[in-house]
Amino acid sequence: MSSDPLVIFTPSGKRGHFPVGTPVLTAARQLGVDLDSVCGGRGICSKCQITPSYGEFSKHGVTVADDALSEWNKVEQRYKDKRGLIDGRRLGCQAQVQGDVVIDVPPESQVHRQVVRKRAEARDITMNPSTRLFYVEVEEPDMHKPSGDMERLVEALEAQWQLKGVKTDLHILQGLQPALRKGKWKVTVAVHLGDENQPPKIMHIWPGYYDGTLYGLAVDLGSTTIAAHLCDLKSGEVVASSGIMNPQIRFGEDLMSRVSYSMMNTGGDQEMTRAVRDGMNALFTQIATEAAIDQSLIVDAVFVCNPVMHHLFLGIDPFELGQAPFALATSDALSLQARELDLNIHPAARVYLLPCIAGHVGADAAAVALSEAPDKSEDLVLVVDVGTNAEILLGNKDKVLACSSPTGPAFEGAQISSGQRAAPGAIERLEINPETKEPRFRVIGSDIWSDETGFDAAIATTGITGICGSGINEAIAEMRMAGVLDASGLIGSAEQTGTARCIEDGRTNAYLVWDGSAEGGPRITITNPDIRAIQMAKAALYSGARLLMDKFHVETVDRVVLAGAFGAHISSKHAMVLGMIPDCPLDKVTSAGNAAGTGARIALLNTKARREIEETVAASRRSKLRSSRVFRSILSMPRPFPTRKNPSQFWPQ
Amino acid sequence: MSSDPLVIFTPSGKRGHFPVGTPVLTAARQLGVDLDSVCGGRGICSKCQITPSYGEFSKHGVTVADDALSEWNKVEQRYKDKRGLIDGRRLGCQAQVQGDVVIDVPPESQVHRQVVRKRAEARDITMNPSTRLFYVEVEEPDMHKPSGDMERLVEALEAQWQLKGVKTDLHILQGLQPALRKGKWKVTVAVHLGDENQPPKIMHIWPGYYDGTLYGLAVDLGSTTIAAHLCDLKSGEVVASSGIMNPQIRFGEDLMSRVSYSMMNTGGDQEMTRAVRDGMNALFTQIATEAAIDQSLIVDAVFVCNPVMHHLFLGIDPFELGQAPFALATSDALSLQARELDLNIHPAARVYLLPCIAGHVGADAAAVALSEAPDKSEDLVLVVDVGTNAEILLGNKDKVLACSSPTGPAFEGAQISSGQRAAPGAIERLEINPETKEPRFRVIGSDIWSDETGFDAAIATTGITGICGSGINEAIAEMRMAGVLDASGLIGSAEQTGTARCIEDGRTNAYLVWDGSAEGGPRITITNPDIRAIQMAKAALYSGARLLMDKFHVETVDRVVLAGAFGAHISSKHAMVLGMIPDCPLDKVTSAGNAAGTGARIALLNTKARREIEETVAASRRSKLRSSRVFRSILSMPRPFPTRKNPSQFWPQ
């Protein structure tokens, strides 16, 4: 047994003997302990903070003396005076081993720290970003060793950080020489490590030590909305989130309309490509302004989207996606440069697009799979990501099937007579008294129900402007439960229902939710065409799930995860009453929020997850773990069941 | 021994037994015989033409019967009717082995054919271009195998051509789907194979079989002129050659003036970068027009240049090259995309720059080394590439030293009172009668000497406009030999020399070559400042060579190679009289033409030569086979010996 002091690291439990005088950082590196450092142990970056513990540790079988580490030194004092240091913390590169010691590495000193997700059932994200900072000291040029400055920087990165064969871009070469001289041959380099089988690549160079943050974007490029999270690539934190309407909406509300636009108009696909990229740039400026950061510090971006958006974003005509066999131009994951897509972030920033699973089962479905991990589930889980286009996954650890379904924008309040986006003033919750058939509701911006005191005051500023996605769905489910609506989806007359709220509306009837016309406000009604729109949307959704279940030869699923912005707002009960999802115990229906966006964030923060989902998708192709027949039968029609005579098949009796 | 027929290929001599019915192409492939094919044996491309021989071959020990190959078939007849086929030729993919046979693969059917260089001592170029055409049949999309079109194309390239892990660019993805459908799932793909450690990359896709040619450019980017050769990447032939003045001349005639311009003017380097890239594009348009080809068929380009031009072309400020230690931003070979450099050739075209050897010993010196191969010479060879900046190499197979020397543009007729570019009307040859001191000369555009009958008629259209580089050098050497000039470089007076051609010129004298003033033409004189300009230029050149010789501890060299446009025109005798080059038997002085340009062409046509020169340069850095001290001592001054009192040291007595 060695007589050298024993060093034990927590939480990893790694341990080893090291000679007296070994810096803690060196010991950590030799043991493969995850202890961060940007400056490589030069006492500059302070990323290697550790907390030594003293006293007796019977669990570890050691007693740590007060002088187990070298004395607090000037470098540490200078750092503490200047930037502050939590009591009990030391700098790992300064503190040297003097005797047996137990050393804790706090989460913020770990490179591969865990980013905790809020939901209990969701896995944490392990940090493994594509791009990291490295501080290096570069050899000065010498007439007798006439290699270029770049070649000496590359040598330094290999010698000091074991990064082999680092490559670079022309724009880095153009700024290299001034940066090296300004930094007196000490520079901080952002290196992209993320691409498999590709050499590491220099993204940016700062003279001297750069104490800043690098950022990445996780973007959910939906048919209707584009949502982005700006993430700190070191801590994994979401620094800002923002969203805009997809500017392509003016070319068609749903995917097939946009494919048609491209078919009918020469250059239509290019118009749409420009529109979505311009929109993206507006969003990036907005989010960078909100976070008060320089847009050029965004060095990585992950995009998830359905195949039509995928192709239009890349500048590929989606023509082939408009007809069987729905051939994708490319299905593999893509790694591109931001400038190839005209994105105004760092010029060398990488753009990663998750792989597409099949013709209309896109990178968004892959992202949902990454976030919700049905392939790791013990029980049979149905994941439904509801948007203008719905991604549906069904499976467990043995097998996962996926399909997509064109629900259209009705669930989001579009194509609804009184519908509107989820914004202040919109009715978002609604109940109907089965006896009186009278409604009560709540509008976005207030917690007070319409039959409670203070309601009028609460809505004084916003007014009541319309009904949003969750509101329309609850309204229809409540109308059905209150007997205002029959099983086929027809609204009864005032006579049939016994309430004056059922009013004549052309050849059918409508249900009056709110009449603000006396004050110049809107008259909010649910009309029979509204019912039909929701029926078609929910039928598309249900039949997608149902067909996957048929493929699995099951009649029920163990649990349901409702994802998407809409999925977060609709109540499980109303979703089930509407027949959007198969029957399932209510307590087994959970909401996952924006699962596609979360999948994008996982891929952004952990490059290993990119390889994981690439392999999962590739494996699913090999073993036919996806259900191509399903999305064909749904997607071969621009709207589901437009001529269906009897929608009651999909309607709970 | 096999009873299968024996197939012998010439000129390789490769042989093997193959079952009756084996297509000749298949036999060639299995034996690794270099027999071309673009269509993969489908009878479309006719690149696999072979010539069977019949009769007795005692050398090979076989007798070839008349029916040794299958009968001439319809595919061959159709090709012959449509495109013509030399008598005796067969298509290797159609002709099948029936008995023992001897088959000759003509040069034009070889992928790695030899391109013969004109000079006896020069090595031939083995064809191994970066980019080749491959015809493939791609599997059609299928809903049950939902991979993208690109993924199926990549699979086809691997299955049909053994190309593994082919990658592509976004612009290819954008045009892929229409190309595949237009070609009915048969396409011809240009694949870039050239980069070491990089996957093959698709450059372009044509629907169906593309029977065209791919082109490459070999560009010698000099301080004063830019010369380009347009090459057929299949045959290796130079299809067109063209040159323009480097538009950067307006920023300074020599390199150091341009570095100074960049130092003195903010954004000056960017101005010069734009100028040279614009000039390059003008040249490319010119050369493509001349060859009557589509500029977008140029898929590869190799550039050689000195380090200052290298940096300015790349958009790197050459500031550091203006002062010791003359640090290069990068010294390694570079592989870039044409669009990164704003070059109007194929958008995905590759641009390759040879490595730089040291601070002022650039890619042009590396190219000269590639062309003249001093590292393979048995005897000690001095290679001098004379331009505005001279590249000088000295060595043999054991060791090669390199340096560069700023000769300035005097050798090319600039900075000379009556100097001009080598163009019709310029005096290019000149002799002086030692007795009478009278000159006779020849002008570009005519073969008749000025003292021969018919001279006046011959120059009637061009006139006599000035004196070009070779003319001025011959004039000064002749003046020295005729005693008009003393050893220090002073022109004697009419009295001293006894000729009225020596006229007063301020405080010194000038020699009158031609007086056309009576007819309104120029008075062409050689002035004492002209002598000084040539003295400085030749001193720079000679001292570079001399210092390399000192490093080698030799007083003489075995042979001298004069390269560069100027080197091709100056006579060896006059160069030696001037003291431009060290003494050496006159028959050991040869002219190599544009060696840097030839080096570029070698690197363009044979990617293995790129690896070779990269390794040679890397090895020279490791083993210090270059002479850094030499170019430092020369290059630390913007002009050689500007204050030198006694230039006679470099003047032959």
Nearest Cβ partner for A151 among B143, B176, B330: B330
Contact assignment for A331 to B174 by CB distance below 8 Å = no
Nearest Cβ partner for B146 among A176, A331, A341: A331
Predicted local distance difference test score (pLDDT) of residue A2: 63
Predicted local distance difference test score (pLDDT) of residue B398: 86
Predicted local distance difference test score (pLDDT) of residue A1: 53
Nearest Cβ partner for A146 among B199, B315, B626: B626
Residues in chain B within 8 Å Cβ distance of A628: 143-144, 146
Contact assignment for A148 to B327 by CB distance below 8 Å = yes
Residues in chain B within 8 Å Cβ distance of A151: 330-332
Residue B489 DSSP code: S
Nearest-angstrom CA–CA distance, B391 and B544: 9
Residues in chain B within 8 Å Cβ distance of A328: 146-149
Burial classification of residue B627, based on how many CB atoms lie within 10 Å of its CB (0-12 exposed, 13-18 middle, 19 or more buried): buried
Residues in chain A within 8 Å Cβ distance of B358: 146
Predicted local distance difference test score (pLDDT) of residue A640: 31
**Closest C-alpha to A473, from A577, A589, A562, A391:** A577
Residues in chain B within 8 Å Cβ distance of A173: 314, 316, 329-330
Nearest Cβ partner for B324 among A143, A151, A359: A143
Contact assignment for A356 to B327 by CB distance below 8 Å = no
- The domains of chain A, with CATH numbers, are 6-109 (3.10.20.30), 130-207 (3.10.20.880), 215-353 (3.30.420.480), 373-409+535-646 (3.30.420), 419-521 (no CATH)
The predicted model scores a pTM of 0.84
Contact assignment for A147 to B331 by CB distance below 8 Å = yes
> Closest approach of chain A CAs to the CA of B329, in angstroms?
5
Nearest Cβ partner for A325 among B142, B329, B626: B142
| Candidates B171, B173, B266, B352, partner chain A, best to mutate (most A CBs within 10 A) | B173
Nearest-angstrom CA–CA distance, A388 and A252: 12
**Closest C-alpha to A238, from A218, A212, A210, A211:** A218
What is the distance of C-alpha B468 from the center of its chain?
A: 23
Predicted local distance difference test score (pLDDT) of residue B61: 83
> Closest approach of chain B CAs to the CA of A604, in angstroms?
21
Nearest-angstrom CA–CA distance, B109 and A565: 63
Nearest Cβ partner for A329 among B176, B621, B624: B176
Percent of chain A exceeding pLDDT 70 equals: 94
Residues in chain B within 8 Å Cβ distance of A316: 173-174, 177
pLDDT along chain A (653 residues), means of 10: 86 94 95 93 91 87 91 93 91 95 94 82 88 96 87 96 93 96 97 82 96 95 91 95 91 83 91 96 96 96 95 95 89 94 94 91 91 92 87 88 82 86 90 95 93 92 91 92 88 94 94 92 93 87 88 93 81 84 88 91 95 84 43 28 28 31
Burial classification of residue B421, based on how many CB atoms lie within 10 Å of its CB (0-12 exposed, 13-18 middle, 19 or more buried): middle
The interface pTM score, or ipTM, of the predicted complex is: 0.84
Nearest-angstrom CA–CA distance, A248 and A222: 10
**Closest C-alpha to A243, from A283, A202, A276, A208:** A283
| Candidates A328, A350, A627, partner chain B, best to mutate (most B CBs within 10 A) | A328
Residues in chain B within 8 Å Cβ distance of A317: 174, 177-178
Q: Across-strand partners of A227? A: A220, A243
Enumerate residue ranges in chain B where pLDDT < 50: 623-653
| Candidates A151, A303, A317, partner chain B, best to mutate (most B CBs within 10 A) | A151
Q: Which residues contact A456 (CB under 8 A, 6 or more apart)?
A: none
> Closest approach of chain B CAs to the CA of A336, in angstroms?
8
Contact assignment for A143 to B332 by CB distance below 8 Å = no
Contact assignment for A326 to B628 by CB distance below 8 Å = no
Main-chain dihedrals φ then ψ at residue B646, nearest 5 degrees: -125, 85
3-class secondary structure per residue, B229-296:
EEEECCCCCEEEEEEEECHHHHHCCCHHHHHHHHHHCCCHHHHHHHHHHHHHHHHHHHHHHHHCCCHH
Main-chain dihedrals φ then ψ at residue A221, nearest 5 degrees: -90, 95
Contact assignment for B359 to A143 by CB distance below 8 Å = yes
First to last CA, chain B: 77
Please give the single-letter amino acid code of residue B598.
T
Contact assignment for A332 to B141 by CB distance below 8 Å = no
Contact assignment for B316 to A174 by CB distance below 8 Å = yes
Predicted local distance difference test score (pLDDT) of residue B629: 30
Nearest Cβ partner for B316 among A165, A173, A358: A173
Residues in chain B within 8 Å Cβ distance of A165: 197
Contact assignment for B628 to A144 by CB distance below 8 Å = yes
Nearest-angstrom CA–CA distance, B495 and B504: 11
Predicted local distance difference test score (pLDDT) of residue B2: 62
Q: Which residues contact A33 (CB under 8 A, 6 or more apart)?
A: A9, A12, A14, A27, A105
3-class secondary structure per residue, A477-530:
HHHHHCCCECCCCCECCHHHHCCCCEEEECCEEEEEEEECHHHCCCEEEEEHHH
Residues in chain B within 8 Å Cβ distance of A624: 144
Nearest-angstrom CA–CA distance, B629 and B550: 12
> Closest approach of chain B CAs to the CA of A618, in angstroms?
9
Give me the total of CB pairs closer than 8 Å, taking one residue from chain A and one from chain B. Answer: 147
For residue B169, what is the nearest residue in chain A, using CA coordinates?
Answer: A336
Structural tokens at position B619: 């090895």
Residues in chain A within 8 Å Cβ distance of B165: 197
Nearest-angstrom CA–CA distance, B533 and B389: 14
Contact assignment for A329 to B148 by CB distance below 8 Å = yes
Nearest-angstrom CA–CA distance, A130 and A132: 7
Residues in chain B within 8 Å Cβ distance of A315: 170, 174
First to last CA, chain A: 77
Contact assignment for A336 to B632 by CB distance below 8 Å = no
For residue A617, what is the nearest residue in chain B, using CA coordinates?
Answer: B147
CA max distance for chain A: 101
> Closest approach of chain B CAs to the CA of A224, in angstroms?
24
A215-221: strand order across its sheet: A238-245, A225-232, A215-221, A298-305, A350-353, A334-337
Nearest Cβ partner for A173 among B147, B148, B329: B329
Residues in chain A within 8 Å Cβ distance of B197: 165, 199
Contact assignment for B149 to A330 by CB distance below 8 Å = yes
For residue B324, what is the nearest residue in chain A, using CA coordinates?
Answer: A143
Contact assignment for B149 to A327 by CB distance below 8 Å = yes
Instruction: For residue B7, give the 3-state DSSP assignment.
Output: strand
Contact assignment for A146 to B628 by CB distance below 8 Å = yes
Contact assignment for A314 to B148 by CB distance below 8 Å = no
> Closest approach of chain B CAs to the CA of A635, in angstroms?
12
Residues in chain B within 8 Å Cβ distance of A332: 148, 150-151
Contact assignment for B146 to A329 by CB distance below 8 Å = no
Nearest-angstrom CA–CA distance, A563 and A390: 10
Give me the helices (H) in A32-169, please. 74-83, 149-161
What is B498-562 written as a DSSP string?
T-TTEEEETTEEEEEEEE-GGGT--EEEEEHHHHHHHHHHHHHHHHHHHHHHHHHT-S--SEEEE
Handedness of CA A420, A425, A428, A432 (dihedral sign): negative
Nearest Cβ partner for A330 among B151, B319, B320: B151
Nearest Cβ partner for A336 among B165, B170, B199: B170
Contact assignment for B330 to A148 by CB distance below 8 Å = yes
Instruction: For residue B191, give the 3-state DSSP assignment.
Output: strand
